[in-house]
Amino acid sequence: MNGMENNWKTIPAFHPEFDIERCDYKNGCSICSKECSFGEISMHPVKDDDGEVRYRPRANLTACNSCQRCVKMCPEGAIHIEFQPMHTSHGYWTSDYASNIWRQAGDEGGVLLVGNGATGPQKRYFDHIMFDACQVTNPSIDPLREPMEIRRYLGRKPAQYGEEIGPQLKLDVPIMFGAMSFGAVNKRVQEAEARATKDVGTYWNTGEGGFFKDLRIYGENTIVQVASGRFGVSEDYLKSAAAVEIKIGQGAKPGIGGHLPGEKVLKAISETRMIPEGSDALSPAPHHDIYSIEDLRQLIYAIKEAMEYKVPVSVKIAAVHNVAPIVSGVARAGADIIAIDGFRGGTGATPLQIRQSTGIPIELAISAADTRLREEGIRDTVSLVASGGIMCSSDVLKAICLGADAVYIGTPVLVALGCGLCQRCFSGKCAYGITTNKPGLAERIDVEQATQALKNLLHAWGEEMKELMGSMGISAIEALRSNRDRLRGVGLNEEELRILEIKHAGA
């Protein structure tokens, strides 16, 4: 770039520091440099005090994302990650904004890509909502002594008693694994998801990358997606699953499509997505056969016809400003389940500006949608699934109290498998082997261990939810659906309380 020095733009905010006293390099250890998939650590020859030349680890100061893989894998505990942002003395211009511009002005140019969900400072409403607990006037219930029920059924319920009930998904834990496609994650991750959900009694979602043939034995616990790219969609694909989800939008990137670069489209991916090897997999921003709500209705019923009305059809939308009327329209268009994805929702790749600035928080969105459906008297005709920013079991219960029937979690699944939240999912270099299909990296996921980790996660959250319910005097989770009375707000203004339909603490 015209003689401009580019070195200053590439100094990373993170780098590993090595405690050379602890480091086992003398015995030839080089685990850290092998584990670092980003090429940040290399082994360099250094003459030791005894005159021998040995290879020591060194930070290259080029590519560290603080994924912490080296830290976790170092047998000696000799590594930590230094955070060294490029401080500006300017109170308004933080280093984030400045370094983004340096990157764009430099070689990188173009649209900045990131993985994971939004990182901005917007209020996390879950943290401003507190549960009630029983004291004196009613007894709390001890989940160790009394049965606690957290099973939910998702799907259309008849408006009138006596009418037939639509096909239902049975969730023994009201938590499903959200859509993460083959391509975004690898087959091992999907297999772990499939096995864990089968054992625990819930569902996982293929995303829009097709449904790997070998995994179709887990079809009873699988939701398949029909997204704008239609990748992998065939009659067999639809019929292999327990439910079909039409993906309109995603919280991390509302209103835009997706792009799996050709380099990532290896043989298995090309087969599953039904596209030529090495070709870019582009998901358009809109479905090119859905330009209005009536088009969506036609697709919903086309799928229902194809499936002979035997499985529920879900529609996933991003939480945007008009979420309530949109949800109402989607319910009336025939969806059995509507998944609403808040702006904190994760992704493998999204433009930074979209991730940080588009969409609304799931807490407000789910509340507004539930309220609207009740006002219109059609709440029971559809199940609502909340997602995007759920980080713990109390978030799940709060989402249910705000009107959700169940939740999707995505990032917690990745974190359970080791994810260090470095936000480089799109690079194909995931050091934990989660968001990569590269040989040598993908094998870092051990399917057995990963399955157990996900089962542990679901079990632990389920038990925590039972404890919370017991303290509230609730023994069946359906008694919490839209139960805003069990919640109080702390530090929320009147408008926020009105939208969440909760009282302020003390009231």
Partner 1 sequence: MCGIVGIINTDGHRIDGSHIQEAIRIQRDRGNGLGGGFAVYGAYPENRDKYAFHIMYEGDRHNPAVSAVEDYLQSRANVYQSEQIPVYPNDRIPRGPYFKRYFLKPIEEFLSPQQTEEDYIVEIVMHINSMQDAFVVSSGKDVGVFKGMGYPEDIADYFRIEDYQGYMWVAHNRFPTNTPGWWGGAHPFTILDKTVVHNGEITSYGTNVRWLEMNGYQCLLQTDTEVISYIYDKLTRRDGLSKRDACYVMAPALWEEIDRRGDEKDRYLRQIYGTAIVNGPFGIVLTHRDGAIVLNDRNKLRPVVCAQVGNTYYASSEECSIRFLSPEVDRIWSPRGGEPVMIDMLEGYKEAV
Smallest separation (angstroms) from partner 1 to the CB of 66 = 42
Closer by beta carbon to partner 1, 83 or else 161: 161
Least separation in angstroms between residue 173's CB and partner 1 is 12
The CB-of-205 to partner 1 minimum distance in angstroms stands at 22
CB of 368 to partner 1, least distance (A): 14
Nearer to partner 1, 101 or 165 (CB): 165
The CA–CA distances, whole Å, from 144 to 134, 137, 149, 389, 467 equal: 17, 21, 12, 30, 9
From the CB of 171, what's the least distance to partner 1, in Å? 11
Closer CB to partner 1, 96 or 132, in the complex: 132
Instruction: Tell me the closest approach of the beta carbon of residue 367 to partner 1, in angstroms.
Output: 12
Question: In 63-72, which positions are buried (b, 16+ CB within 10 angstroms) versus exposed (e)?
Answer: bbbbbbbbbe
Q: Identify residue 61 by its one-letter amino acid code.
A: L
Task: Between 385 and 472, name the residue whose CB sits nearer to partner 1.
Answer: 472
Rounded to whole angstroms, how far apart are CA atoms 407 and 177?
8
- Least gap, CB of 149 to partner 1 (angstroms): 6
Taking the least distance from each CB to partner 1, the nearer of 138 and 456 is 138
Cβ-based neighbours of 170, under 8 Å, separated by 6 or more: 151, 153, 201
Q: Both tokens of residue 495?
A: 């408008």
Q: 102 or 131: whose CB is closer to partner 1?
A: 131
The distance of closest approach from Cβ of residue 474 to partner 1 in the complex, given in angstroms and rounded to an integer, is: 5
Q: Please, what is the angle between helix 447-472 and helix 187-200, to 10°?
A: 40
* Helix axes of 393-401 and 362-375: crossing angle, nearest 10 degrees: 30
Q: How far is the CB of 382 from partner 1 (least distance, A)?
A: 13
- Closer to partner 1 by CB, 206 or 221: give it: 221
- CA 128 to mean position of chain CA atoms: 22
Q: Which among 13, 139, 183, 124 is positioned nearest to 363, based on CA atoms?
A: 124
By C-beta, is 168 or 272 nearer to partner 1?
168
Start-to-end C-alpha separation, the chain: 62
Q: Token pair for residue 284?
A: 């358009």
What element of type H or E holds 400?
helix 393-401
69 vs 37: CA distance, rounded Å = 9
CB nearer to partner 1: give 28 or 162.
162
Measured CA to CA, the distance from residue 163 to residue 149 in angstroms comes to: 26
**What are φ and ψ of residue 334, in 5° steps?**
110, 5
Output 35 or 370, the one with its CB closest to partner 1: 370
Q: By CB under 8 A, name the binding residues for partner 1.
A: 134, 136-139, 141, 146-147, 149, 151, 153, 157-158, 160-162, 165, 168, 374-375, 377, 379-380, 401, 472-476, 478-486
277 CB neighbour count, 10 Å cutoff: 12
Write phi, then psi, for 321 (nearest 5 degrees): -55, -45
34 Cβ partners below 8 Å, 6+ apart?
A: none
Burial call 297-332: b when 16+ CB within 10 Å, e when fewer? bebbeebbeebeeebbbbbbbbbbeebbebbbbbbe
Task: Tell me 340's DSSP state.
Answer: E
C-beta of 129: minimal distance to partner 1 in Å?
13
Judged by CB, which is closer to partner 1: 444, or 484? Answer: 484
CB of 471 to partner 1, least distance (A): 10
